Structures are given as structure tokens and as C-alpha cells.
């Protein structure tokens, strides 16, 4: 599932192409995907693109189009005039001009540019609502701070309030910390030197400080790599994110730890596949 770095990479990728453009047509290709009056977007101009945790919001004047990619969602931009230049890895580029079998929604702009919402598993959602109601969505209103806004004081207090919860589950809870998912929770725990299956109540103030710094460093590095393409995730111009090539523990089971050489281990914590180094993390 796309996490903060992936959704933020898509947001940044779409900004120069979509903001200021007028929507000429919105075509839904699957009844489960669109919610609200998609047709009301026609004739509006995209004024901004916001992100709330993993939720992407196209602001179109008084209206908002809230897009959640969930498991397998993609947003692929095509420039319409054919002038789109692919980034550094054309062999991995994925220039989509037309809808394909997983395309659930197509936005067409008045300059012929298109934005394709592809979603193989169809868990993603595209919802039209008044822009003033976005902040009231339960998902948005309940979001905790993102790693960038996280402070040690906040984390120490919340870890104690949830002291029986396993650390990994705590980090995945979007109401406690927004934007982390399975990949970056594991990477954050490694970077902080803390085992992900510890109870939150056992995390010391010093470890909490390390977790804050680790979460921020992990997100910065992931953004620099345009996120992680474990499966379906692609940037707004169809490129893969390359973070997994530098990941410390995620999906590296049995491979040597980049710090100490011990084999990376995998266990299931809170129902989620979890990776760690038993000699670097305590």
C-alpha cells in the first residue's frame, strides 16, 4: 500500500501538470470507485493538490476530489500533446495514453491531458465533496502528526497512553502517527535500534527520541528515492520508486544486516510481516 513517501511523490509529480488545468470530462469505468457527483467536477479548475496522511485531495475551487489509493491504486498522468519526457529510467517507464483493464476513472483536461486512476484490486476510492468538508472527514480529522511534525514529548505521552500495544501496531495506527505503513515502520524501528515487537510502554524517553529522528530520516530518504515500488506503486509519470534498493530490513529476510552482517529476520507482528536485525535492535 502506498505510504506517505509514495503519495507525496505522486502529489509532487502531479503539481506542475494538473494545477491550473480545467477539467473537461470525468469518466468512471467502475461503479464502486466514484463517490459523490463526479460530473460536478466538469468545468472546474484544479487550484491545489493537498495530502492528508495517505489521502490525496485535488482542490477544484469549492469542490474537492479526495483520492485514496489503498492497496493497488495508481494515478498516471499523460500530457496529451505527446511532449511528456520520461525520467531517468525509460525502460521502466510506463507511458499510458489510453485506459486499460484496470483503469477505473479517467479525468480529461481541456488541454487534452489525462489523469488515469488505475486500481487492480478496486479498494481505492475517489470521492467528490465540498472542499470545506474535507477536514471533517473522520479519516482526516483523526490523523495524528506526520513524522515531520512529530515531537519526542508527543511520542512519549502517546506510547505510555497505549502502553499495552505492540510498537509496530502503534506506528501503523494513523491516529497516532500519520503516513507510516508496513515498510517505513520496519525501517524506522531498525534506524532507531528498537525491536518492533516491544510493548509501547517499555519504550524509554531516549528510545522515543531516536524513533522520532528515525521516522524523519526514513521518510526523507524514501522521498529522495520516490518511494518503494514493491508491486503496483508508480510515480505520476509511471516510474518505479527505488527505496527498496537501499532498505535496511524490509523484504531482506536472510540477507546480511548492512550494519553488523547478521541475517535479517522476519516475524509476524500484529498480523503484519515484520523485518528486523536481532543484534542491532533491542
Nearer to Zn ion, 219 or 277 (CB): 277
CA neighbor of 219 nearest in space, from 169, 143, 167, 147: 147
Shortest distance, CB of residue 214 to Zn ion, whole angstroms? Answer: 14
Residue nearest to Zn ion as judged by C-beta position: 257
- The binding site for Zn ion (CB under 5 A) comprises 257, 259-260, 262, 277, 279-280
- In the set 2, 5, 147, 196, the catalytic residue is 2
272 is catalytic: yes
- In the set 29, 70, 258, 272, the catalytic residue is 272
Nearer to Zn ion, 74 or 248 (CB): 248
Shortest distance, CB of residue 211 to Zn ion, whole angstroms? Answer: 17
Nearer to Zn ion, 141 or 262 (CB): 262
Shortest distance, CB of residue 266 to Zn ion, whole angstroms? Answer: 14
- In the set 5, 6, 8, 54, the catalytic residue is 54
Residues ≥6 apart with Cβ < 8 Å to 146: 4, 53, 177, 178, 179, 219
27 secondary structure, DSSP code = E
39 is catalytic: no
Are 234 and 117 within 8 A, CB to CB? Answer: no
Shortest distance, CB of residue 191 to Zn ion, whole angstroms? Answer: 11
Shortest distance, CB of residue 146 to Zn ion, whole angstroms? Answer: 28
Nearer to Zn ion, 142 or 256 (CB): 256
Question: What SS3 state is found at 103?
Answer: strand
Are 185 and 196 within 8 A, CB to CB? Answer: yes
Nearer to Zn ion, 106 or 257 (CB): 257
Distance (Å, rounded) from C-alpha 178 to C-alpha 181?
9
Shortest distance, CB of residue 66 to Zn ion, whole angstroms? Answer: 41
CA neighbor of 216 nearest in space, from 149, 136, 130: 149
Nearer to Zn ion, 141 or 260 (CB): 260
Tell me how far CA of residue 86 lies from CA of 93, 111, 137, 239, in angstroms.
7, 19, 36, 8
CA neighbor of 64 nearest in space, from 140, 135, 130, 18: 130
Listing DSSP states for 139-192 in one string gives HHHT----GGG--HHHHHHHHHHTTTSBHHHHHH-TTTSSS--HHHHHHHHHHH
Catalytic residues: 2-3, 54, 272
Amino acid at each position: 500500500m502506498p505510504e506517505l513517501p509514495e503519495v507525496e511523490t505522486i502529489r509532487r509529480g502531479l503539481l506542475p501538470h494538473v494545477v491550473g488545468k480545467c477539467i473537461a470530462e470525468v469518466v468512471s469505468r467502475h461503479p464502486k470507485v466514484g463517490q459523490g457527483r463526479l460530473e460536478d467536477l466538469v468545468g472546474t479548475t484544479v487550484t491545489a493538490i493537498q495530502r492528508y496522511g495517505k489521502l490525496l485531495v485535488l482542490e477544484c475551487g469549492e469542490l474537492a476530489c479526495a483520492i485514496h489509493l489503498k492497496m493497488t491504486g495508481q494515478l498516471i498522468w499523460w500530457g496529451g500533446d505527446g511532449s511528456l519526457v520520461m525520467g531517468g529510467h525509460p525502460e521502466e517507464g510506463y507511458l499510458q495514453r489510453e485506459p486499460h483493464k484496470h483503469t477505473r476513472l479517467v479525468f480529461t483536461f481541456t488541454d487534452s491531458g489525462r489523469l488515469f486512476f488505475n486500481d487492480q484490486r478496486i479498494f481505492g476510492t475517489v470521492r467528490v465533496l465540498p472542499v470545506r468538508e474535507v477536514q471533517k472527514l473522520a479519516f482526516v480529522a483523526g490523523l495524528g502528526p506526520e513524522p515531520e511534525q512529530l515531537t519526542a514529548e508527543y511520542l512519549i505521552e502517546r506510547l505510555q497512553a497505549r502502553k499495552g500495544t505492540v510498537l509496530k501496531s502503534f506506528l501503523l495506527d494513523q491516529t497516532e502517527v500519520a503516513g507510516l505503513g508496513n515498510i517505513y515502520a520496519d525501517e524506522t524501528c531498525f534506524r532507531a535500534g528498537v525491536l518492533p515487537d516491544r510493548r509501547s510502554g517499555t519504550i524509554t524517553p531516549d528510545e522515543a527520541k531516536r524513533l522520532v529522528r528515525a521516522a524523519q530520516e526514513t521518510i526523507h530518504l524514501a522521498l529522495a528515492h520516490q518511494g518503494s515500488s514493491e508491486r503496483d506503486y508508480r510515480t505520476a509519470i509511471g516510474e518505479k520508486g527505488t527505496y527498496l534498493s537501499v532498505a535496511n530490513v524490509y523484504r531482506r529476510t536472510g540477507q546480511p544486516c548492512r550494519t553488523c552482517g547478521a541475517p535479517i529476520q522476519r516475524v509476524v507482528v500484529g498480523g503484519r510481516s515484520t523485518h528486523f536485525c536481532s543484534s542491532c535492535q533491542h
